[in-house]
Structure 1
Amino acid sequence: MNSEKLLAILRLQATKNIGDILAKKLITAVGGVENVFKEKPHILHKINGIGTHTTQHLFDESNLKRAEEEFKYIQQNNIAFSYFLDDDYPQNLKHCIDAPILIFKDGNINLNSDKVISIVGTRNISSYGRDFCNQLVEELHSHNPIIVSGFAYGVDICAHKAAIKNNLQTIAVLAHGLEDIYPKTHKKYIHEVNKNGGFITEFWHNETPLRENFLKRNRIVAGLSKATIIIESAEKGGSLVTADIANSYNRDVFALSGRATDVYSKGCNNLIKNNQAHILTSAEDIVKMLNWDLSKTSTPKQKELFVNLDEIEQKIYDYLQQNGKQHLDTIALTCEIPVYQLSSLLLQMELKGVVKPLPGKLFEV
């Protein structure tokens, strides 16, 4: 990535009142992140969600100064990163409309796998929860899943350690920058996590672990994964937020049931009772629900010859052919087609037999 593009991304991240959804809308509307700060304000005002107040923040010189400082840190420390439109950006996360436009990485991360699961839960893990977590990861070992968690006390660190013990890749999603680690007592695990996977964060290098950062972090934990597993949780807690986000992404959620009188089983029991999670009793539940036990022996269906596609349909087809199954919002964003128009085009293409709709607003050729 060239310097101009990275600096523009950082400057956009630094702009007050512009979150990831609005940032993506801006980038799509002007044809690239570099063009955002080259466009005239009165043109930007025509974009839904961009008003005079937001534009003033957008061109605030203090944002540029902050972006330049972060850019310098990235260059000097050779920090790895992924932009949401790049090929190396995690595919599962690409399907999430509110995913970060830029993530930073450290370690030996390889997310080119269809078997990615998140394991989260209370910081006050019981012996019941710890034993189940260790057994679960051990039983899943033969399927070689990637284990994602938040590097916190309790269930999180238990999941990371279980993955390392079973020689599985594990990804720790941080609620702060890469310059420090939280909690401090987990510094001793950094080397092993980096060797078996690594760390991901959306926060700049000197960002501290503020309370709201943990809630933002949870959407990445849920978004990276095909399924989120809640080991133990009280009636309220961050892991329940992660479960809620995973459900909003149309991802599977599993919860370990417990005794009705156990404080740290109440959250899981409620998820199951309210049909917000599958009951989890063993690794087999995950393997069956995610179809990990099915061998893919069928031959891909060839596209019918001589199907007439117009220019826009061909653009959509070529994108799906190259990138595999994609979420409706991702197709709209990348192909620069409004969602309402894209839905109609995809229906026509389905009738022509060139695309297939999948659960969760996914489409493939």
Structure 2
Amino acid sequence: MTTLPAGREAAFLMLVLSRIPGLGPARINAIISRFGGSPDLLHAGADDFQRITGIGEQLSGEIAGFLRQPEKRRAAEQEAIGQFEALERCNARLVTILDPGYPSLLKEIYDPPPVLFIRGSLPNPEQPSIAVVGTRKASAYGKQASMEISGELALRGVLVVSGLAYGIDSAAHEAALRAGGKTVAVLAGGVDDIYTDPRGRLWPKIIEQGALVSEEWFGSEMLPAKFPKRNRIISGMTQGTLVVESDLKGGALITASYALEQNREVFAVPGSIYSGNSRGTNRLIQTGQAKAVLSVDDILEELPAPPIDTVKQQQEPAIVRAELSREENELMRFIGEEPVHLDTLALRSGLDISVLLVLLFELELKKTVRQLPGQFFQKTRRHP
């Protein structure tokens, strides 16, 4: 038998079990609950496995048969050892469901991942957390809502969790990072291949201020079926899920459905009745499945208070103290003491709405501009 990594016996066994056809997270967890981290399970017979709830006669025989075949078991053990070697190369770690550092909320769902591959550091388990999800084809309105709400959540000491997909997800991570808060990206592939951010615009910063998390092995193939699996982790790690923009079908609504199954809060940002991107969010609100979010306070009032040391509201994050960029100074020429509408700013500045919204969000974080209802903006007293 392959030598087990010192102190990592349970993790090694879980990885070996995951190579056996027919064993998913729930069954692996049941086996580990029965045997613990003891290597004795590698020598267990069909009768031993059949006594475990959820494993019938046929599957128990297949498990025992797999473990009795030297070539199959040796191959599984070598693959598991290869994962530990990859962990070292990527400065990552493996957390099992038996470890104290495993996310406590995630343990409560029906089929929590037996192991999590992590790059970075998971935050304080007492820190309130919200998943922010939405369409990859986000509108300017959706990106603005995602960034404003996520940034304010981070400032208030709330962990922002998302999937690092294009659109709403990336906007949520970026806003949390800019606000100096914590954010976790749950990936559908391995944490060694961040395919949605190949140039490293966000993921290195996420590792510094949070973590990349996945249940998928290093080098694993990206398959469509892995995205719903990923979504159950996003909702399972958090106390609530906010859907910013989604049509009637899509990954964001799958995440919301998982949150409902997991007895977690669901929130949705309402949108135009003429926008396909808002049909899913408006339906969630209409059917009473989600609470409408008009401001960050609509979310915060449903969450426990964060620990004092995670609250950023009374602190000035680094971005607040930063000087204005040339583009921001140019834009400030068109913003005065009197409120000015977003459309007017676009006409005066000649900027595309999507570019303008990003600049305005930066200025809000720097406490230079404030937004008023109806997409009006005005200069704050901080700015001369």
TM bucket normalised to smaller = 0.7 to 0.9
State the Cα distance separating 1:260 from its structure 2 match. Answer: 1.8
Contact kept? 2:46, 2:60, Cα under 8 Å: no
Q: Residue 23 of structure 1 corresponds to which residue in structure 2?
A: 28
AA matched with 1:55: A
Q: Residue 17 of structure 2 corresponds to which residue in structure 1?
A: 12
- Write the mapping of 1:217-236 to structure 2, written as runs, cut at 5 A: 217-236=230-249
Aligned: 1:137 with 2:159: no
Match for residue 205 of structure 1 among 199, 215, 218: 218
When residues 64 and 108 of structure 1 are mapped into structure 2, their CA distance, relative to the original with a 3 A threshold, is closer
When residues 229 and 79 of structure 1 are mapped into structure 2, their CA distance, relative to the original with a 3 A threshold, is same
State the Cα distance separating 1:193 from its structure 2 match. Answer: 1.3
How far does the alpha carbon of each residue in 1:57-97 deviate from its partner, in whole angstroms, 9 at most, with x for none? 45532322322322333355543121101111011111113
Contact kept? 2:155, 2:181, Cα under 8 Å: no
SS in structure 1 of the partner of residue 94 of structure 2 = strand
When residues 116 and 186 of structure 1 are mapped into structure 2, their CA distance, relative to the original with a 3 A threshold, is farther
Aligned: 1:169 with 2:182: yes
How far does the alpha carbon of each residue in 1:275-294 deviate from its partner, in whole angstroms, 9 at most, with x for none? 22111111110111225499
When residues 138 and 69 of structure 1 are mapped into structure 2, their CA distance, relative to the original with a 3 A threshold, is closer
Match for residue 155 of structure 1 among 168, 173, 191: 168
Aligned: 1:55 with 2:64: yes
Match for residue 191 of structure 1 among 167, 183, 204: 204
Match for residue 72 of structure 1 among 77, 85, 88: 85
When residues 78 and 37 of structure 1 are mapped into structure 2, their CA distance, relative to the original with a 3 A threshold, is farther
The whole-number CA distance in structure 2 between the counterparts of 1:127 and 1:78 is: 36
When residues 283 and 107 of structure 1 are mapped into structure 2, their CA distance, relative to the original with a 3 A threshold, is same
Stretches of 4+ moved more than 4 A in 1? Answer: 75-78
The whole-number CA distance in structure 2 between the counterparts of 1:94 and 1:260 is: 38
State the Cα distance separating 1:186 from its structure 2 match. Answer: 5.3
When residues 183 and 111 of structure 1 are mapped into structure 2, their CA distance, relative to the original with a 3 A threshold, is same
When residues 4 and 237 of structure 1 are mapped into structure 2, their CA distance, relative to the original with a 3 A threshold, is same
Contact kept? 1:6, 1:71, Cα under 8 Å: no
The whole-number CA distance in structure 1 between the counterparts of 2:67 and 2:228 is: 25
Unaligned segments of structure 1, at least 5 residues: 296-365
Identity of matched residues, %: 31
Aligned length: 295
Contact kept? 1:143, 1:292, Cα under 8 Å: no
- Write the mapping of 1:39-50 to structure 2, written as runs, cut at 5 A: 39-48=44-53, 49=55, 50=59
State the Cα distance separating 1:228 from its structure 2 match. Answer: 0.5
Q: TM-score, normalised by structure 1?
A: 0.75
State the Cα distance separating 1:237 from its structure 2 match. Answer: 0.1
When residues 5 and 25 of structure 1 are mapped into structure 2, their CA distance, relative to the original with a 3 A threshold, is closer
Contact kept? 1:287, 1:293, Cα under 8 Å: no
The whole-number CA distance in structure 2 between the counterparts of 1:77 and 1:165 is: 25
Match for residue 113 of structure 2 among 100, 103, 112: 100
- Aligned-pair Cα RMSD in Å: 2.2
The whole-number CA distance in structure 2 between the counterparts of 1:189 and 1:75 is: 22
AA matched with 1:242: T
Unaligned segments of structure 2, at least 5 residues: 1-5, 309-384
Aligned: 1:178 with 2:191: yes
Q: TM-score, normalised by structure 2?
A: 0.72
SS in structure 1 of the partner of residue 301 of structure 2 = helix
State the Cα distance separating 1:141 from its structure 2 match. Answer: 4.1
Q: Which has the larger radius of gyration?
A: 2
Contact kept? 1:84, 1:102, Cα under 8 Å: yes
Q: Residue 316 of structure 1 corresponds to which residue in structure 2?
A: none
When residues 53 and 85 of structure 1 are mapped into structure 2, their CA distance, relative to the original with a 3 A threshold, is same
Contact kept? 1:182, 1:209, Cα under 8 Å: no
When residues 57 and 240 of structure 1 are mapped into structure 2, their CA distance, relative to the original with a 3 A threshold, is farther
- Write the mapping of 1:196-345 to structure 2, written as runs, cut at 5 A: 196-292=209-305
